[in-house]
């Protein structure tokens, strides 16, 4: 296979082994929460794994809050070699980049038209010094907007595999089981087909509610098998998993957002390893 044309983006991302783009048709379905959980899970696969989390929700960045970095000290440093991401842990295994870190006041709104967003996305892809990464998880805004088109345009040179980078960028879809969310997710799926972006599968979030008292599951949005019917049977897409509404998760994200707790990468890893060894 011939080498694709080199660009500042392809040069910068040459040290990233896998790129996973997280998509959803609708807002509020848990895409950003899932991106954070995906990044932590990938980190836990191996003690040597290094993961980057890139927030492309330019007008509504939420990753800094979700990883406990919505604090004034969390700022991006500019060096001659590029932007240094903000690290969640001391070992620098999980780095995060978001426009939220660049705002003077975290409460500021970003009201930008397409070309300015495109410039920011190009900078994020070409100027962040991730170093060697096993995975770069990219959280995108809901739907299929300017940000998605910019992202895939800039990533285009990476869609030709090379011997040093055999995997090409791929995606994961997040949806709740509600019919409106599933229908909107079909639009995201159609977008991936048009742009030839591989899809690893779909995660159904907020699948049901586990009662903290009796562990019984209530299917708040119905349990009619629509996700499997529409995505697995009709579109040959794997349903990767189902995540219930989890009051513990909400509590954790809330306490993180107040800066009371930081994501403990090492503890998360030990917890997951413990669960694995307990079968």
Binding site for ligand ADP (CB under 6 A): 24, 27-33, 62, 205-206, 243, 245-246, 249-250, 253
Q: Describe the crossing of helices 114-127 and 146-155 by its angle, rounded to 10 degrees.
A: 40
Smallest gap from Cβ 17 to ligand ADP, in A, equals: 25
Smallest distance, ligand ADP to C-beta of residue 159, A: 25
Contact 270, 277 (CB under 8 A): no
Query: Which residue lies nearer to ligand ADP by CB, 95 or 141?
Result: 141
Known binding residue 248? Answer is no
Annotation-wise, does 29 bind a ligand? yes
Q: Is 52 left (phi over 0), alpha (psi -120 to 50) or beta?
A: beta
Structure tokens given for 179: 């019919």
The residue of the chain with the least Cβ separation from ligand ADP equals 30
30: annotated binding-site residue? Answer: yes
Nearer to ligand ADP, 62 or 188 (CB): 62
Least distance (Å) between residue 185 CB and ligand ADP: 11
Q: Pick between residue 10 and residue 188 the one whose CB is nearest to ligand ADP.
A: 188
Q: Is 25 annotated as a binding residue?
A: yes
| Residue corresponding to tokens 């809050």 | 65
Query: 27 vs 259, which CB is nearer to ligand ADP?
Result: 27
- Parallel, antiparallel or unpaired: strands 77-79 and 94-97: unpaired
Q: What are phi and psi of 21, to 5 degrees?
A: -100, 125
Query: Minimum Å distance from CB 15 to ligand ADP?
Result: 27
Angle CA 164–55–231, to nearest 5: 80
For ligand ADP, give the closer residue by CB, 57 or 118.
Answer: 57
279 is in an annotated binding site: no
> Closer to ligand ADP at the Cβ: 188 or 192?
188
Whose tokens are 């939420």? That residue is 62
Distance CA 136, CA 50 (A): 9
CB of 190 to ligand ADP, least distance (A): 19
Shortest separation between residue 228's beta carbon and ligand ADP, angstroms = 19
270 has binding-site annotation? no
Nearest approach, Cβ of residue 236 and ligand ADP (Å): 24
241 marked as part of a ligand binding site = no
Helices 265-277 and 31-44 cross at an angle (nearest 10°) of 70
Q: Residue 239: phi, psi to the nearest 5?
A: -85, 105
Identity of the residue, 144 or 205, whose beta carbon is nearer to ligand ADP in the bound complex: 205
Any binding-site annotation on 119? no
Backbone angles phi, psi at 6, to 5 degrees: -80, 140
Confirm if 69 and 180 have CB atoms less than 8 A apart: no
Distance CA(177)–CA(172), nearest Å, equals 16
Q: Which helix (H) or strand (E) holds 247?
A: helix 247-257
Residues comprising the binding site for [4Fe-4S] cluster? Answer: 211, 214
Residues comprising the binding site for ATP? Answer: 25-32
Residues comprising the binding site? Answer: 25-32, 211, 214
């Amino acid at each position: 296979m011939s080498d694709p044309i080199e660009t500042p983006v392809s040069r910068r991302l040459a040290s990233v082994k896998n790129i996973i783009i997280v998509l959803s048709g609708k807002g509020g379905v848990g895409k950003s929460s899932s991106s954070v959980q995906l990044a932590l899970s990938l980190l836990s696969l191996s003690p040597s794994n290094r993961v980057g989390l890139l927030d492309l929700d330019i007008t509504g960045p939420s990753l800094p809050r979700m990883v406990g970095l919505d604090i004034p000290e969390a700022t991006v440093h500019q060096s001659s070699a590029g932007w240094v991401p903000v690290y969640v842990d001391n070992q620098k295994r999980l780095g995060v980049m978001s426009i939220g870190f660049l705002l003077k006041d975290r409460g500021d709104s970003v009201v930008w038209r397409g070309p300015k967003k495109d410039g920011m996305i190009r900078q994020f892809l070409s100027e962040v010094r991730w170093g060697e990464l096993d995975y770069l998880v990219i959280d995108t805004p809901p739907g299929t907007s300017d940000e998605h088109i910019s992202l895939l345009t800039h990533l285009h040179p990476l869609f030709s595999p090379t011997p040093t980078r055999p995997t090409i960028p791929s995606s994961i879809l997040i949806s709740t089981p509600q019919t409106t969310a599933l229908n909107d997710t079909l639009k995201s799926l159609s977008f991936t087909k048009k742009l030839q972006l591989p899809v690893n599968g779909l995660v159904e979030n907020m699948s049901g509610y586990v009662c903290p008292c009796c562990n019984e599951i209530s299917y708040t949005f119905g349990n009619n098998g629509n996700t499997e019917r529409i995505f697995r049977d009709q579109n040959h897409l794997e349903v990767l998993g189902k995540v219930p509404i989890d009051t513990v998760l909400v509590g954790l994200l809330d306490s993180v957002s107040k800066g009371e707790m930081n994501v403990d990468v090492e503890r998360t890893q030990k917890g997951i390893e413990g669960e694995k060894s307990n079968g």
